[in-house]
Amino acid sequence: MGGWVLEVAKMALYLSFPVGMFHYFNQPEYFENWVTKTRRELYPPENVSHREEIQDCIRKLELKRERELLKILEENENKASITK
């Protein structure tokens, strides 16, 4: 007779835990505060000066790469003209 009571209690615990967690974590104010805080930590607001520094760095790297490619092309062109 006592076995079914234990089974009912276990089943109530098994069902109430996920429902309770869903209810707790699905509160809009908790979720909104947590998400806003986490988003600001992971993705801070963009700073204009940082963006400009990044763009400058990208431009410098592209120019450097173009110069290296031009240098290689000129060397290959010189070698080709010498062998002809």
Confidence (pLDDT) at 24: 84
44: left (phi over 0), alpha (psi -120 to 50) or beta: beta
d(CA 32, CA 26): 10
Residues 42-84: tens digit of each pLDDT: 988 888 888 899 999 999 999 999 999 999 999 888 877 777 6
Confidence (pLDDT) at 84: 63
DSSP string, 32-71: HHHHHHHHHHHSPPPPHHHHHHHHHHHHHHHHHHHHHHHH
Has residue 1 got a pLDDT over 60? no
Confidence (pLDDT) at 53: 92
